[in-house]
């Protein structure tokens, strides 16, 4: 693709800046939270996306919805937008996700999390980074091609997947089982990156969410001898596990943004509603992210051994349940076609030298790698996903859109690999 053509496309994207902001504002106003987290799913948000796609003139849209009786709509929607290219044997597929995490403690937000606020060139709101920025950038990248009358050399697809923030069962895993992807697809998952826009993620850690339930005997707090405090047993277990896991699994790997395995106690369920009762049951959770050299079963074994010890010490019962498990997938080949193509496109827009690395988060790319697809993760972000006051830079959203268009038009041009 010649420089004049790319200049025209980039100009179109710049002229769409306010429209991009407006669409993101509209999407953030619809809380697409999974039922596991107390939400009603992604239906209304995807309905909004589909409506806007129709207004933009896109016609080749597929639905691959999954039944879910926990949400009012009765299903979790997966939407795919296709743009026909000159060659159907080559495809570029961008995978974004439509669900978001809950806002958390509202007192820590300076603004309404579901109302986008613009300040100093940034947009604040839950889901603006994870994954709203990329939803908007990918849509407007295809729109820029159409507005300039350009037919790409290959088919282009944008997958709007559900259920990413929980277990992907009703999202990317379902789509893989339906045969949506092809082995030669160039797959980009814009769901992580850095502020310079030069990190291409090719590998991820294993993840395990462990539910810990301690069972004792409820009683009045003034007569603790008549009961057995399940919360105290939980505290004891949590302390010992935290200490031992960090000691046993302490190797580092510089490939990853956080070079160590992590073990974080996170969610805590309510035990008793009043202060003057000793709880007979307590539940909390560990979020574990392991370097690929370690196995989840090793962690579970260590936790079980400590649980057995605490049971003897306290007279309580401790149940461990792995509610989410994703073993690390084989990494994407560092010189895979999608890696080389993306390097070239990043360099065209950001004028920097991209590098490969790994992350502790689990994205749709990890699921795709398990299924044998060479997927990569990239976007330009400030790393505020899941935080209070989540925000993005408008410039990042616009420039990432330019990278996508460059990828769409130059991915199969092998004259320059972007090194």
Count of CB atoms within 10 A of residue 265's CB?
A: 16
In terms of phi and psi (left: phi > 0; alpha: psi -120 to 50; beta: otherwise), the region of 99 is beta
**CB neighbour list of residue 295: distance below 8 Å, 6 or more residues apart:** 206, 327
Q: Which residues are catalytic?
A: 99, 164
Residues 388, 393: Cα–Cα separation, whole Å: 16
Rounded CA separation 372/94 (Å)? 17
Cα dihedral 167/172/178/179 (nearest 10): -140
Q: Which residue has the tokens 């009358």?
A: 149
* Helices 3-15/17-28 angle, 10° precision: 50
């Amino acid at each position: 693709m010649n420089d004049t053509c790319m200049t025209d496309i980039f100009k179109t994207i710049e002229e769409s800046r306010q429209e991009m902001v407006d669409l993101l504002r509209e999407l953030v106003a619809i809380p697409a939270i999974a039922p596991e987290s107390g939400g009603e799913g992604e239906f209304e948000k995807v309905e909004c996306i589909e409506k806007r796609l129709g207004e933009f003139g896109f016609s080749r849209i597929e639905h691959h919805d999954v039944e879910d009786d926990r949400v009012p709509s009765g299903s979790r929607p997966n939407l795919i937008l296709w743009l026909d290219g000159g060659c159907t044997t080559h495809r570029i597929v961008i995978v974004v996700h439509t669900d978001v995490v809950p806002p958390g403690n509202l007192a820590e937000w300076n603004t309404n999390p579901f109302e986008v606020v613009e300040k100093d060139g940034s947009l604040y709101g839950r889901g603006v980074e994870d994954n709203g920025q990329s939803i908007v950038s990918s849509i407007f990248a295809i729109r820029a091609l159409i507005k300039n009358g350009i037919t790409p050399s290959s088919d282009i697809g944008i997958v709007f997947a559900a259920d990413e923030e929980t277990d992907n069962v009703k999202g990317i895993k379902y789509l893989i089982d339906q045969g949506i992807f092809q082995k030669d697809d160039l797959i980009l998952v814009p769901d992580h990156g850095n502020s310079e826009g030069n990190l291409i993620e090719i590998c991820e850690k294993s993840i395990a969410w462990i539910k810990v339930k301690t069972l004792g005997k409820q009683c009045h707090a003034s007569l603790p001898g008549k009961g057995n405090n399940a919360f105290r047993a939980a505290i004891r277990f949590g302390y010992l596990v935290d200490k031992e896991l960090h000691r046993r699994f302490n190797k580092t790997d510089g490939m990853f943004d956080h070079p160590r395995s992590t073990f974080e106690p996170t969610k805590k369920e309510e035990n008793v509603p009043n202060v003057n009762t000793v709880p007979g049951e307590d539940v909390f959770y560990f979020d574990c992210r392991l370097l690929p050299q370690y196995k989840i079963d090793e962690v579970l074994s260590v936790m079980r051994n400590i649980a057995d010890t605490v049971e003897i010490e306290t007279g309580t019962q401790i149940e461990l349940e792995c509610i989410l498990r994703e073993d690390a997938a084989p990494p994407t080949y560092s010189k895979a076609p999608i890696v080389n193509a993306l390097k070239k496109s990043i360099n065209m827009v950001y004028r920097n030298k991209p590098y490969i690395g790994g992350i502790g988060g689990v994205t749709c790319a990890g699921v795709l790698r398990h299924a044998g697809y060479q997927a990569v993760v990239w976007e330009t972000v400030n790393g505020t996903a899941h935080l209070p006051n989540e925000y993005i830079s408008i410039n990042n959203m616009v420039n990432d859109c330019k990278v996508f268009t460059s990828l769409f038009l130059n991915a199969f041009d092998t004259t320059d690999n972007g090194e």
